[in-house]
Amino acid sequence: MDETNELLMHLYETADMGVKSTKKLLKILKNKDNKIKGVLENELKQYENFYKEAKNLLNKHSIKPCKKLMANMVANTTMQLEIDKDNSDSKIAEILSRGFIMGVTGLKKKISDYEKEASRKIIRLAKNLVIFQEKEIENLKEYL
């Protein structure tokens, strides 16, 4: 797989994980009175936009996305267990921050590895996803 495709797959997987985990979290909090739900709904919209753009680029490059079922199951199970113990806004902000930090770290490494070889459009999309995630980490600090 060339650099553009590898970066694009990583970008897609990051956005996909963001969409799935945010939906799962909103489902868990559905009947709870958490103030952070509005933040989650906004994050979901943003992740969905990145997901759609990454998926369109995958189609354009004729790449079939692979599903990381095990990673999604582990993330969802861990999140469910943590929220069952403590569903406070501060705990949710902590969980989200960890996820964003992992996403930022992974994407920055991939961008650094492939910046010279990968498509400018995909580099720009990856950098925009990093910017979004870093802003969300800052936004979540008010709940910690």
pLDDT tens by residue, 28-62:
999 999 999 999 999 999 999 999 999 999 999 88
**How sure is the predictor about 121, in pLDDT bands with cuts at 50, 70 and 90?**
very high
**How sure is the predictor about 15, in pLDDT bands with cuts at 50, 70 and 90?**
very high
pLDDT of residue 68: 67
For residue 104, count other CB atoms closer than 10 A to its CB.
19
**How sure is the predictor about 72, in pLDDT bands with cuts at 50, 70 and 90?**
low
| Domain span at 125 | 3-143
Under 8 Å between Cβ of 15 and 129:
yes
Res 67 pLDDT > 80: no
Res 66 pLDDT > 70: yes
Under 8 Å between Cβ of 130 and 18:
no
Structurally, the chain folds into a number of domains equal to 1
pLDDT tens by residue, 75-90:
778 888 888 899 899 9
**How sure is the predictor about 124, in pLDDT bands with cuts at 50, 70 and 90?**
very high
Instruction: Give 20: exposed, middle or buried? Use CB within 10 Å, 0-12, 13-18, 19+.
Output: middle
Res 113 pLDDT > 80: yes
The domain that holds 103 is classified in CATH as 1.20.1260.10
Calculate the CA 116 to chain-centre distance.
Answer: 24
pTM of the shown model: 0.90
Res 2 pLDDT > 90: no
